[in-house]
């Protein structure tokens, strides 16, 4: 059976959402981010991204990691693209062109959107804006996001989904990245097509199953 290392409150959420889309059974090993626990290196600490056993599996020391029939794979987007390709339902590519486009949108999300969207998640959405410096950092992140969000908006204004006119792994990857910025109302307001698409993605039973599991984990 597929093994997923990583708590659901991590980028493992992407892999877990996909498994629900694919009806793919999995076993989850709840490896937690080292920075989220008081002393990650203490004897008896829960399995975390500094644990020697985990580092032996994945020297990068980050979740998610999967074990799939002998293949050990890290990087959430490599994992979701691999599983979608392998299990070949409508969520995955039907031909090489679709495969390429799913990679294109996933990597555009990871490179042009995710870093600034994460800044917004960390400082804005969690209500931890401490001072003018934090507010300035968030404002700059939001400013930098306008250009890539315009690209996404223009595409989604004329296509219901990113690739092939149906929900695919490309939407899943991008929606999980966009979720980080979703709470910034002023940033999202000029992008109605993105808001409608994100809402459709998050309305899916497979997303809701992942989200329920995520909420059940301690913050
Ligand atoms: N690009 C990687 C990033 C992985 C990553 O940074 N994961 C975080 C959790 S979402 C992590 O494991 N951090 C562990 C740590 O910093 O100790 C991916 O998409 O999988």
Atom of ligand 1 nearest to the CA of 6: 12
Specify the residue with its C-alpha closest to ligand 1, atom 5. Answer: 62
Position 154 scores a pLDDT of 98
Which pLDDT tens digit goes with each residue over 143-161? 999 999 999 999 999 999 9
Q: Say which CATH architecture domain 96-204 belongs to.
A: Up-down Bundle (1.20)
Q: For residue 68, what are the β-bridge partners?
A: 71
Q: Are 168 and 161 in contact (CB under 8 A)?
A: yes
Position 130 scores a pLDDT of 61
Q: For residue 45, what are the β-bridge partners?
A: none
In the predicted structure, residue 131 carries a pLDDT above the cut 80? no
Position 164 scores a pLDDT of 97
- Average pLDDT score over residue span 159-167: 98
Q: Which pTM does this prediction carry?
A: 0.95
Specify the residue with its C-alpha closest to ligand 1, atom 12. Answer: 62
Q: Are 6 and 13 in contact (CB under 8 A)?
A: no
Between β-strands 2-5 and 26-29, what pairing exists: parallel, antiparallel or unpaired? parallel
Per-residue confidence at 74, pLDDT binned at 50, 70, 90?
Answer: very high
What residue ranges do the domains of the chain occupy?
2-89, 96-204
CATH hierarchy code of domain 2-89 = 3.40.30.10
If one residue of 13, 14, 33 were mutated to test the ligand 1 pocket, choosing by the most ligand atoms within 8 A of its CB, it would be 33
Q: Are 99 and 85 in contact (CB under 8 A)?
A: yes
Specify the residue with its C-alpha closest to ligand 1, atom 10. Answer: 10
- Average pLDDT score over residue span 191-213: 98
How many A from CA of 146 to the centre of ligand 1?
25
Distance CA(71)–CA(116), nearest Å, equals 32
């Amino acid at each position: 059976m597929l093994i997923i290392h990583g708590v659901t409150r991590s980028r493992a959420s992407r892999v877990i959402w996909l498994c629900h889309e694919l009806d793919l059974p999995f076993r989850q090993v709840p490896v937690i981010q080292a920075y989220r626990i008081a002393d990650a290196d203490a004897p008896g600490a829960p399995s975390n991204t500094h644990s020697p056993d985990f580092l032996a599996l994945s020297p990068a020391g980050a979740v998610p990691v999967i074990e799939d029939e002998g293949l050990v794979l890290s990087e959430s987007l490599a994992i979701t693209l691999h599983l979608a390709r392998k299990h070949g339902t409508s969520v995955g590519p039907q031909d090489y062109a679709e495969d390429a486009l799913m990679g294109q949108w996933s990597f555009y999300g990871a490179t042009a959107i995710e870093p600034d969207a994460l800044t917004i998640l960390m400082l804005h959405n969690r209500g931890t804006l401490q001072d003018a410096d934090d507010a300035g950092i968030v404002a700059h992140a939001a400013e930098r996001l306008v250009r890539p969000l315009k690209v996404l908006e223009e595409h989604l204004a004329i296509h219901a989904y990113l690739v092939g006119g149906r929900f695919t792994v490309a939407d899943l990857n991008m929606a999980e990245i966009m979720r980080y910025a979703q709470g910034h109302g002023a940033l999202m307001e000029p992008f109605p097509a993105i808001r409608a698409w994100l809402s459709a993605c998050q309305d899916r039973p497979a997303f809701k199953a992942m989200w329920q599991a995520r909420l059940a984990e301690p913050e």
